[in-house]
Amino acid sequence: MFVSEDVSLLLSLCLSCLILIFSLKMILGKSGNLPPGPKPLPLLGNYLQLRKGDLLKTLQELREKYGDVYTIYMGPRPVVVMSGYKTVKEVLVDRADDFLARGDIPTFDSSYQNYGIAFTSDMHRWRELRRFSLATLRGFGMGKRSIEDRIQEEAACLVAELKKTKETFLDPRTCINKAPGNVIFSLMFGNRHEYDDEELLNVLDIMYQTLLTVSSPWGQLYDMFPRVMRHVPGHHQHIFHNMEKLLLYVEDRVKQNQKTLDPSNPRDYVDTFLIRMEKEKKDPKTEFTLRNLVFSTLQIFFAGVETMSTTLTYALLILLKYPHVVDEVHKEIDRVIGRNRSPNLQDRSRMPYTEAVIHEIQRFVDLVPFGLPRKTTKDVEFHGYAIPKDTNIFPMLTTALKDPDCFPYPTEFNPQNFLDRNGQFVKNDAFMPLAAGKRICLGEALVRMELFLFLVTILQNFSFKSPGAIEEVDVTPQVTGLGSFPKPYKMAFIPR
Ligand code: HEM
C-alpha cells in the first residue's frame, strides 16, 4: 500500500518536473523568436490539433490562420512550416545554405543514425557523399544516352509483361514497380532480375510496405513521440523490422561485390564506393566507410524505386480517369513516333502535349507534399523571425505545386497548366516535385528519363480500361504523410 503510494508520488513528481522543464524550455530556451503558431501543450506539443488524421489538411488550415511562415510542435519538437512558391523557393534556392541540413525523420533516423547521403544532417558527410554519388551515377549513365538503352530495354520487358495479363483487371503496381526497380538494381548492383524473381519481388514489397507505414498515422505518431512509441506495440514496429531486413540484404549484396571486385573495372555504384574506400582507408576523417556505403546504397535504392513506382501507378490511375487526355497523347505518339519503334529521349522535344501531361501528372500526384524536412545550419533571420540553428523546417512542396499565383488550374488535373495558347510546352519555376536548389532530388535526371520512356512506351502499346464507371475512379490519395499514395485500384491493359 505504502509502496504503491510512494511510486505514484514519484511518478507524479517526475511528470511535473518534465512538464516544467519543457514549459521553461519553450518560454526561455533555444526557441528564439520563432514564427507564431497554435499554442503547444507541454510534452504533447500540437498533437491534439495535428492528430485529426489528415495532417496535410490540418497544415493547410493552420496556414490560413497563421500565414506562410508558422511554427507547429510535433510533440516537443518545433517545426517551422514554409508555404507558397515564393517562400519555399527562398528556403530551397535563394537561401539554400541556411536550410541545407536534413531535418529529423525519427521513423528513418532510428535505422540510419545520421549515416548515408539522404538522411544525414552532418554537412561534411553530406557534401562528400553527394558529390561522389552524383558523379558515380552520371558515370554509369544517369541523364545520358548510355542509360537510355537500359531503360528502353526495361520498358520493352514491361510491355511484354503487361501483354501477358491478357486484358484482365489487376492492380498495376504489381507489374509496374519491377521496371524502375531493375533500373536502380543495374545502377547500384550491376544486374537486373526477371519479373518473377523472388528476390526482386520480396525487396520491392518490403520497401512499399515500409514507406506506406511511415506515411500512415502510426508513422506520424512515431515521428512525434519516438521515445515513447519505440516501446509501444503497433504497426510502426514493422518499419524497424523491415529496415533491418533491407539493411541485411544490402550488406549481403555489398559482400558479393567485394568478392568479385576488379578495381580496374568498376561495374556499379557499390564497386566504385569500394574502390574509394580502399583508397582512403588510412584517412581517419574519410566518409568512405562501409557504414556510409551500406546506408547510402539503401537510401538511393529506396528513394529511386518507391518514388518511381508510386508515380507510375498514380499516373495510370489519373490517365484512367481522363480518357480524353489519353486520346490526345495517343495521337501525338502516332504522329511523332508511330507504332514500330521504341520511343527515345529525342522525341520529347517534338511532343509538347505529352511533356505537359507528364509534368501535370507529377504536379497533381504531389508525391512528397511536405518535402523532405530540412534543418537550419545556423541561427537564421527569416521574415523578421529568429530561427535557431538545428530547427526543423517543412518546405511545403505541395503549396508551390498548387500555388494559385503560379498555375491557372491549381487544384484540378489539367495539362493546360503547362501549355501556352499555341499548344507549346511552357516551363514553370513553381514545378518542384523533386524540391529545388543544392539538395534537390539526386535522381532528377533519371526521373525525367524514366517517366518519359516508361509512360510513352506503355501508351504506345496500350489503351486502358476501368472495371467500373469512370466517375467512380477516385484519384484522391489513400494516405498523405511523408509520401502521397493512390488508393489500391484495378485496371486492364488493352493492346492497341
Ligand atoms: C518521381 C520520383 C521522385 C520524386 C518525386 C523524388 C522526390 C525527392 C524529394 C522531394 C527529395 C528531397 C530533396 C530535399 O532535400 O529537399 C528527394 C531527395 C532524394 N532523392 Fe528523390 N525523388 C524521386 C526519384 C528519385 C530517384 C529515381 C532517385 C535515385 C537516384 C532518388 C534519389 C534521391 C536521393 C538520394 C535524395 C536525397 C538527396 C540529398 O539529401 O542530397 N530520387 N527526392
**pLDDT over threshold 50, residue 4:** no
Confidence of residue 305 (pLDDT cuts 50, 70, 90): very high
Q: What is the mean pLDDT of the chain?
A: 91
pLDDT (average), residues 72-99: 97
* Cα 204–chain centre separation: 15
Q: Which residue's alpha carbon is nearest to atom 27 within ligand 1? A: 304
**Tens digit of each residue's pLDDT (9 = 90 or more) over 220-265:** 889 889 989 989 999 899 999 999 999 999 999 999 999 999 999 9
**Tens digit of each residue's pLDDT (9 = 90 or more) over 330-389:** 999 999 999 999 999 999 999 999 999 999 999 999 999 999 999 999 999 999 999 999
pLDDT (average), residues 464-479: 92
d(CA 422, CA 437): 31
Q: Is 221 in the pocket of ligand 1 (CB under 6 A)?
A: no
* Percent of the residues in the chain that have a pLDDT greater than 70, as a whole number: 92
Q: For residue 142, give the ligand 1 atom closest to its CA.
A: 30
Coil, strand or helix: which one is 43? coil
**Range in 14-18, 82-86, 195-199 the model is least confident about:** 14-18
Q: Is 307 in the pocket of ligand 1 (CB under 6 A)?
A: yes
**Tens digit of each residue's pLDDT (9 = 90 or more) over 157-190:** 999 999 999 999 999 998 899 999 999 999 999 8
**pLDDT over threshold 80, residue 1:** no
Q: Is 311 in the pocket of ligand 1 (CB under 6 A)?
A: yes
Contact 391, 51 (CB under 8 A): no
Q: For residue 296, give the ligand 1 atom closest to its CA.
A: 35
Q: Is 361 in the pocket of ligand 1 (CB under 6 A)?
A: no
**pLDDT over threshold 70, residue 13:** no
Contact 392, 72 (CB under 8 A): no
DSSP conformational letter for 34:
P
Contact 299, 117 (CB under 8 A): yes
d(CA 194, CA 157): 9
Query: Can you name the residues that pair with 334 across neighbouring β-strands?
Result: none
Coil, strand or helix: which one is 396? coil
Q: For residue 311, give the ligand 1 atom closest to its CA.
A: 1
Contact 320, 470 (CB under 8 A): yes
Ligand 1 centroid to residue 26 C-alpha, Å: 33
Confidence of residue 55 (pLDDT cuts 50, 70, 90): confident
HSE-CB at 260 with a 13 A cutoff on CA atoms is 10
Q: Where are the domains of the chain?
A: 21-495
Ligand 1 centroid to residue 103 C-alpha, Å: 15
d(CA 117, CA 130): 6
Q: State the pLDDT at residue 86.
A: 98
Q: State the pLDDT at residue 216.
A: 84
Q: Which residue's alpha carbon is nearest to atom 11 within ligand 1? A: 441
Confidence of residue 10 (pLDDT cuts 50, 70, 90): very low
376's torsion region: left (phi>0), alpha (psi -120 to 50) or beta? beta
**pLDDT over threshold 90, residue 458:** yes
Residue to substitute in 91, 396, 434 for testing ligand 1 pocket (most ligand atoms within 8 angstroms of CB): 434
**pLDDT over threshold 90, residue 143:** no
Regarding the domain delimited by 21-495, which CATH topology (the fold level of the hierarchy) does it fall under? Cytochrome p450 (1.10.630)
Instruction: Please write down the long-range contacts of 2-7, taking CB distance under 8 Å and 24 or more positions apart.
Output: none
Coil, strand or helix: which one is 132? helix
Q: State the pLDDT at residue 309.
A: 94
**pLDDT over threshold 70, residue 97:** yes
Q: State the pLDDT at residue 27.
A: 46
Confidence of residue 25 (pLDDT cuts 50, 70, 90): low
Q: Give the N- to C-terminal CA distance of the chain in Å, as an integer.
A: 79
Q: Is 300 in the pocket of ligand 1 (CB under 6 A)?
A: yes
Q: Is 435 in the pocket of ligand 1 (CB under 6 A)?
A: yes
Q: State the pLDDT at residue 165.
A: 95
Ligand 1 centroid to residue 38 C-alpha, Å: 31
Ligand 1 centroid to residue 231 C-alpha, Å: 31
pLDDT (average), residues 470-477: 94
Ligand 1 centroid to residue 368 C-alpha, Å: 9
Q: How many other CB atoms are found less than 10 A from the CB of residue 200?
A: 18
d(CA 202, CA 181): 12
**pLDDT over threshold 70, residue 22:** no
d(CA 394, CA 378): 16
d(CA 207, CA 10): 43
Confidence of residue 215 (pLDDT cuts 50, 70, 90): confident
**Tens digit of each residue's pLDDT (9 = 90 or more) over 358-367:** 999 999 999 9
DSSP conformational letter for 91:
I
